[in-house]
Amino acid sequence: MRSPIFPTLRRFALDRRGNVAIVAALAMGPICVASLGAIDLARATSAKSQLQDALDAAALGAARTNATTDAEMKVEGDRYLRQNLKLSDDFALTSSTFHIGESGKIIASARLDVTPFISGLLTGGTMAVTASSEVVRADMEVEIALVLDNTGSMTEGSKLADLKTAAKDFVTKMEEAAGKSVLPNPIKIALVPFSNTVRVDGTTYRNATWIDQNGSSPINDQIFTTASGTQHANRFSLFTTLGTPWRGCVEMRQAPYDVQDTAPTTGATLYTPYFAVDEPDNRTTGYGSDFQNDYLNDGTNSSNWRVRQGSITKYRSTNGLSTTKGPNRGCGLQKVMRLTTDFSSLRTAIDNLNADGNTNIPIGMAWGWNAVSPYAPFADGVAYNTPKHKKIVILMTDGENTIAQRDTPNDGTYAGTGYIWQGRVLKSNNTPLQQGATDAERTEALDSRLALICQNMKAKDIEIYTVRVEVDTGTSELLKSCATGEDYFYDVTHSTNLTQVFQSIAGQIAALHLSR
């Protein structure tokens, strides 16, 4: 007789209902180990990322110090590394190196030990993560002038808006490049908006010695003509009499100083304050077109337009004068911003750009040159040929040089070139441009001055980038020849491409001068 215990044992052996639980229990151990191992791996990956970021910052910070030996570099590097590395107690910085390599390169490395949750049970130790970094101790500094066309044609389409976006992005790109340099102020940027004139701060520079305070420049009196010749006038005194502040616009200097950066000291080297004279009363002239800038009563019965326009006794206090009528007519553009490292203020100034007036590229370039020149009016630039320094001017324009024509005895409107009959603009043969000249002749004369100022700037080792935007007339040869080389000229068919172009220029500057 079979014992009853054997069937019971047999049924137990054949029963499969508890297998899943058993398998799950047996598998739990490896799963837990794997999960904790994955967590350890994630912690190690995070630690490596933090170590790399901290080491990069430490290498850059150490490179910016005055350390000249490996020992000094180690002290500075460790200090920055400790400041930037914020880890919990189960992470330990076990080693770091900082030393000076060839060409001033700073080479850094560091090791971090991570106490694992599970790996240590198997290996009995820690996990090591490492990082390395190299920083070029570049020591080049650059001075950049943005010379931007702010003439009336910039209001067409989206040109002005696109220019603002592109110029602001350029400033940001340069700010980022400056942040990677080991020098405290490696990049300085100036902003020079231009139209037919250029405007400085009328309050700041009202009494500056480089401004013609007493009318000593020979071009000062030319607009105050009478039937028998000229009469002397102090333009600032006339502004005061009118009760209208000088807005800050300046005129082209008398040749040859219009294409030079000769320091303004006396006479023709000084900058003449822009003063648009009161033109004759329209009702008495008898000419085909009205004089546009008639803002005072002439106070005379003379039929001679020169007497009516040139009189200085008619200036008296009056109201309602603006940049569209009055002595500041044509001076509606924004002010020049001198070389600065205040990139935020630069972007704000670019946002405030507005379009006004005709195109006079030479006067824009003259003040771009002034911005980086070591000489007055600003004297912000380092001396020419200073080692490890570079001066750069970026010109953007959307039009041809223009001196307006108009059917009045003045044969045009007042501008930074004065009136055309003053003969202040020299042609390519060095003879004065005269009244009655055609549009083409006027453009050619200003073009010749632009070619000459570009030549003079490049002779001082100033790099010039030129950008031509949506120009349908003429050729690009002038701006091509003005630029330092073929790679420094950009012909932009649509203003929406300006950002890409300015980013390309920023990249060139960084590659050529800010890294090695």
Cα separation, 474 vs 140, whole angstroms: 38
Going by C-alpha positions, the residue among 228, 317, 204, 221 that lies closest to residue 277 is 221
230 plus 112 within the same structural domain: no
96 and 146 part of one domain: no
Residue 108's CATH number: 3.30.1300
pLDDT at residue 15 in the model: 56
Q: Which residues of 244-276 are buried (b: 16+ CB within 10 A; e: fewer)?
A: bebbbbbbbbbbebbbbbeebeeebbbbbbbbb
Residues 45 and 125 in one domain: yes
User: What is the extent of the structural domain holding 345?
Assistant: 141-514
Structure tokens at 491: 């012909």
> Is the backbone of residue 376 left (phi > 0), alpha (psi -120 to 50) or beta?
beta
User: Tens digits of per-residue pLDDT, 456-505?
Assistant: 999 999 999 999 998 776 668 999 999 999 999 999 999 999 999 999 99
Task: Kindly state whether residues 48 and 146 are assigned to the same domain.
Answer: no
DSSP state of 511: I
Q: Could you give the number of structural domains in the chain?
A: 2
Whether 106 and 252 map to the same domain: the answer is no
Q: Distance of alpha carbon 444 from its chain centroid, rounded?
A: 29
What's the pLDDT at 34?
47
Query: Does residue 105 form part of some domain?
Result: yes
Which CA distances in Å does 15 have to 3, 5, 383?
Answer: 20, 16, 97
> Which CATH number fits the domain that encloses residue 425?
3.40.50.410
Q: What is the pLDDT of residue 265?
A: 97
Asked whether residue 203 falls in the same domain as residue 59, the answer is no
**Each residue's pLDDT tens digit, 6-22:** 555 555 455 555 555 55
Q: Which residues in the chain show pLDDT less than 50?
A: 1, 12, 23-24, 27, 32-34, 36, 516
Of 106, 136, 166, which residue is a domain's last? 136
pLDDT of residue 499: 96
367, 192 contact by CB (below 8 A): yes
| The predicted structure's pLDDT at residue 468 | 94
Last residue of a domain, one of 107, 136, 165: 136
Last residue of a domain, one of 136, 167, 191: 136
Q: 104 and 66, same structural domain?
A: yes
Cα radius of gyration (the chain)? 36
- Pairing state of beta strands 187-194 and 337-340? antiparallel
Check residue 102 and give its pLDDT.
77
Statement to judge: residues 208 and 290 lie in one domain: yes
C-alpha span between 364 and 346 (Å, rounded):
18
pLDDT at 131: 92
Contacts of residue 489, Cβ cutoff 8 Å, sequence gap at least 6:
465, 466, 467, 468, 476, 479, 480, 483
pLDDT score of 30: 56
Residues 192 and 66 in one domain: no
Same structural domain, 284 and 223 = yes
CA distance 98 to 215: 63
Classify residue 11: in a domain, yes or no: no
Please give the C-alpha separations between residue 31 and each of 38, 382, 491, in angstroms, as whole numbers: 10, 68, 64
User: Are both 235 and 285 inside the same structural domain?
Assistant: yes
